[in-house]
């Protein structure tokens, strides 16, 4: 059954497409909505998000054995991010996780919940855990600030871009300069039947607004910046979603080998696009250096201050100072790149301290 948010009945609502189908792209004035969202004066309907619960006394220990993150001591109300990887270290699921003391709540993209629940059920074995896809019973509201009015709700706070315990930054910049520090992000879980009441009296921003702030914060998104070959190093996800010192889990060998001895084959970049065309290239557009394809545009949006911005995944060898070209059919967009993942990322063993860094 196709999901459709009740908040799409609000005046001016225009439904989003693709991974965000079922909620509003905007409510008639995207840039105004984005300003309000950035100022903490609006919330975003993310009720299409997938929600999977894991309950039972073994839940955190069990999830710890499966994921890239250290979850054994996750405290009630504490938020984290964890990856489920293939044997080759490629990302299968990027999970937002918060535990309430009895249940671990896993928030994922809308299309991921059924597959995640099925995957977890296959891995249950003899552990005392119960898994359920509760996406039809719970909705998500996004905000850049804490909402005291929803103090009774379970809330996930995005750890990005802070380097967590056991994490490592691949940017190579001084961390206070990371643009993600200008954005905080909260996702509130509310019963689906109470979504309209929770949004009552609040300014609403569409997902276009949230996407623009995400892109400006260099925050990768599952299904957008990822494909079937993505490893965490390429997206700087080691900082928030991987604990490099934890025990054995599927994909750990690739994580350790690339981090210590190798380099990720691709790297995430931020693109400032030429805004003269007043249009945006589509996700999947080619990124070229001269006549040669060197990558793929993954997300694009109009930012209320910077204009058209984007994220792209390019080959590690691309010169960080080189001007790039984004090609979408007959349309071409000049693009200036900013380094997110350094071309020298990885190969930490033997490296002098101070370039790529773990948490202070």
199 pLDDT exceeds 90?
Answer: yes
Dump strand ranges (E) for 3-133. Answer: 14-15, 24-26, 42-45, 50-55, 79-85, 91-99, 103-108, 130-133
For the chain, give every residue range classified as CATH 2.40.30.110: 265-339
pLDDT interval class at 350 (50, 70, 90): low
Tell me how crowded residue 76 is: count the other CB atoms within 10 A of its CB. 10
352 pLDDT exceeds 80?
Answer: no
For the chain, give every residue range classified as CATH 3.30.1360.120: 6-241
Q: Are 264 and 91 in contact (CB under 8 A)?
A: no
- Helical (H) or strand (E) element with 335: strand 331-339
pLDDT interval class at 275 (50, 70, 90): confident
State the pLDDT at residue 357.
Answer: 52
DSSP 357: B
State the pLDDT at residue 278.
Answer: 87
Q: Give the C-alpha separation, 80 to 160, whole Å.
A: 10
Q: Give the C-alpha separation, 138 to 48, whole Å.
A: 9
State the pLDDT at residue 101.
Answer: 97
Q: Work out the average pLDDT over 134-159.
A: 96
- Cα 12 to Cα 15, 42, 126, 291: the distances in Å are 10, 16, 51, 42
Q: Give the C-alpha separation, 355 to 16, whole Å.
A: 41
Q: Work out the average pLDDT over 214-236.
A: 98
State the pLDDT at residue 209.
Answer: 98
Q: What value does the mean pLDDT of the chain take?
A: 95
pLDDT interval class at 360 (50, 70, 90): very low
Closest to 234 (Cα-Cα) out of 108, 121, 94: 94
State the pLDDT at residue 176.
Answer: 85
> For the chain, what is the total number of helices (H) and then of strands (E)?
7, 18
State the pLDDT at residue 279.
Answer: 94
State the pLDDT at residue 354.
Answer: 43
Instruction: Report the CATH fold assignment for 265-339.
Output: Elongation Factor Tu (Ef-tu); domain 3 (2.40.30)
The pTM (predicted TM-score) of the whole model is 0.95
356 pLDDT exceeds 60?
Answer: no
pLDDT interval class at 355 (50, 70, 90): very low
Q: What percentage of the chain reaches a pLDDT higher than 90?
A: 92
127 pLDDT exceeds 80?
Answer: yes
Close Cβ partners of 177 (under 8 Å, ≥ 6 residues apart): none
Architecture of domain 6-241: 2-Layer Sandwich (3.30)
State the pLDDT at residue 173.
Answer: 78
Q: Which residue has the higher pLDDT, 303 or 176?
A: 303
């Amino acid at each position: 059954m196709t999901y459709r948010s009740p908040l799409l009945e609000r005046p001016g609502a225009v439904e989003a497409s693709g991974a965000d189908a079922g909620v509003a792209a905007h409510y008639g004035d995207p840039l105004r909505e984005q300003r309000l969202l950035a100022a903490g004066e609006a919330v975003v309907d993310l009720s299409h998000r997938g929600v999977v619960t894991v309950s039972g006394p073994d839940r955190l220990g069990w999830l710890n054995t499966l994921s890239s993150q250290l979850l054994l001591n996750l405290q009630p109300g504490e938020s984290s991010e964890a990856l489920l990887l293939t044997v080759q270290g490629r990302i299968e699921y990027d999970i937002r996780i918060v535990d309430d003391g009895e249940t671990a709540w896993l928030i994922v993209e809308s299309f991921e919940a059924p597959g995640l629940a099925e995957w977890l059920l296959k891995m249950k074995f003899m552990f005392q855990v119960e898994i359920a896809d509760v996406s039809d019973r719970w909705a998500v509201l996004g905000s850049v600030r804490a909402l005291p009015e929803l103090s009774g709700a379970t809330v996930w706070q995005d750890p990005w871009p802070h380097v967590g315990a056991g994490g490592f930054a691949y940017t190579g910049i001084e961390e206070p300069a990371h643009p993600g520090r200008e954005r905080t992000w909260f996702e509130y879980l509310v019963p689906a039947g109470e979504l309209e009441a929770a949004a009552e009296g609040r300014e609403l921003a569409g997902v276009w607004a949230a996407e623009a702030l995400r892109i400006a914060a260099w925050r990768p998104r599952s299904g957008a910046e990822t494909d079937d070959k993505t490893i965490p190093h390429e997206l700087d996800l080691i900082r928030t979603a991987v604990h490099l010192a934890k025990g054995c889990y599927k994909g750990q060998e690739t994580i350790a080998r690339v981090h210590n001895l190798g380099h990720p084959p691709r790297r995430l970049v931020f693109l400032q696009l030429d805004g003269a065309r007043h249009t945006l290239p589509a996700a999947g557009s080619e990124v070229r250096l001269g006549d040669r394809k060197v990558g793929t545009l993954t997300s694009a949006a109009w930012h209320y201050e910077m204009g058209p911005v984007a994220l792209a995944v390019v080959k590690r060898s691309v010169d960080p100072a080189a001007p790039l070209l984004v090609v979408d059919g007959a349309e071409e967009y000049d693009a200036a790149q900013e380094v997110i993942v350094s071309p020298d990322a990885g190969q930490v063993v033997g490296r002098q301290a101070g370039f790529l860094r773990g948490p202070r």
